[in-house]
Amino acid sequence: MNVTRLPLRLTADPHRVIVRPFIPGGPSRIRAVIERVRALPDNEVSAMVTALVNDYRQRHKDIRGIFRQNYATALAHLGENREPGEERRLLLGAYFTLEYSLEAVALFNPSMVAHPDQSGTAHGALRFVMSLRACGEGHISSIEFRTGTIDVEHHVTVDPPTRFALTARPEDDALYDKESYVLKLREMKAHTPLADPILNVLDTRFTLSDLKYAIDRCRPEVGKTQYKELADNMLWLAHSNYELDFSPDSAISERVIFPVSENESRGIEDARFVRFTHADGRATYYATYTAYNGLRVLPQLIETIDFRYFKVNTLNGTCVQNKGMALFPRKVGGKFMMAARLDGENIYLLASDNIHFWNESKLIYGPKYPWEFVQVGNCGSPIETEAGWLLLTHGVGPMRQYWLGAILLDLEDPSKVIASLSEPLLVPNADERDGYVPNVVYSCGALVHGDHLIIPYAVSDSHTSVANVPLPELLARLTRAAQ
């Protein structure tokens, strides 16, 4: 197969830092820091603030606002509302702030989609958005983005990111759908008779504040232990569904989706973005990703139209398990479709009338060739071609080597596998075998440009490269295999 590796390499940059609240301990530790800063003379406070602002404003937008916000976060742990002077608040905020290096470990597992704004693009070129898994201290993963262009000759250029990286706080007034919320609560086996009075208070659409009010209002005189467990579960579920709104003056490359909820506290892994076209022609970008809390994985769904405003929701149903769910770019036969690996070994086709609920599955492909005897899975969303749905796959073989392959699914009935490559499409070469996890090439989603398939791929869980493949040649190889 004529696979061309492009001279492009995205490597981890430890200079890419965000700020996070730093709470050094419980209320007594927080109070002790506040009292120590309170004892400082005004001139020393002023000098320290000036030095801190001058030092860190080169690394972060609105560093003063960050200090104010993290001072307020620390006070919330005390349940107090102290009001020292402005400079002392800023200094305290600095004590309750830390920097986190997003890419200190790796930058890998990319997916690529067409940019929502193609204005000004040269004839025959395509602007794209690439998502990447950034891994930092404590092996906590987040989602970063890069933009770039594929020119008429299929050369790929990635725009350099700005020096800033920033996160967005979840929207406090995000609306929850009551019906979906109750279904998920039942699926969690967290719904008890004590939940009914709370749910009766809520409207069909409600906010987190509404939920907290209903929980407080319905608090019983007896059974307080059981009620607290229920309340914790209900709030946990709400916090797992959130909305992020980034500043309109931020570049896409500055925006970072960092773990927010408890179920993703140890990382957000392997986002598979796809440009989904609705029946009326509207386009929405969806991504499935794996939330990890240190004990279990939980597939979740991201939704955006502009890569500025994001909705994050839990996925529900008996088929929502394991890693590697990838949404088809349109409905098939009136249903949403997913490629998934329910059992950690085989590829399944999921179907649903509701994008948030998945209970219907069918095994369609399992390990077939020696290079995939351990397991197979998808490498991103299926791509529609005249010959069928092209699904990039990964196979795991001896020495836990990860290789890229491909299968072709029927356009009308994707549960029918037309053909599969008997040999890998992409294998780690001598320059790609070493890294955080050796002997791995892996992708979370490719993009068609003209008659070429552009494949961004991770190299041994360390950095990211790009390859292109003539699409007619790949399809011809697959259709010959079907004969």
Q: Given a cut of 90, is residue 419 above it in pLDDT?
A: yes
Q: What is the pLDDT of residue 77?
A: 87
H or E element at residue 134? strand 126-135
Q: Could you tell me the pTM of the whole model?
A: 0.92
Q: What is the pLDDT of residue 401?
A: 97
Mean pLDDT, the chain, as a whole number? 94
The architecture of the domain spanning 4-12+102-169+242-482 is 5 Propeller (2.115)
Q: What is the pLDDT of residue 84?
A: 80
Q: What is the 3-state secondary structure (H, E, C) of 278-316?
A: CCCCCEEEEEEEEEECCCCEEEEEEEECCCCEEEEEECE
Instruction: Compute the residue count for the chain.
Output: 483
Q: Which residues contact 91 (CB under 8 A, 6 or more apart)?
A: 37, 40, 45, 48, 49, 52, 67
Pairwise CA distance, residues 403 & 314, whole Å: 30
Q: Given a cut of 90, is residue 331 above it in pLDDT?
A: yes
3-state percent breakdown (helix, strand, coil) of the chain, nearest 5: 25, 35, 40
Place 83 in a pLDDT band, splitting at 50, 70 and 90.
confident
Q: What is the pLDDT of residue 327?
A: 98
pLDDT (tens digit per residue) in 51-69: 999 999 999 999 999 999 9
Domain ranges of the chain: 4-12+102-169+242-482, 17-100, 176-239
Average pLDDT over residues 456-482: 95
Place 266 in a pLDDT band, splitting at 50, 70 and 90.
confident
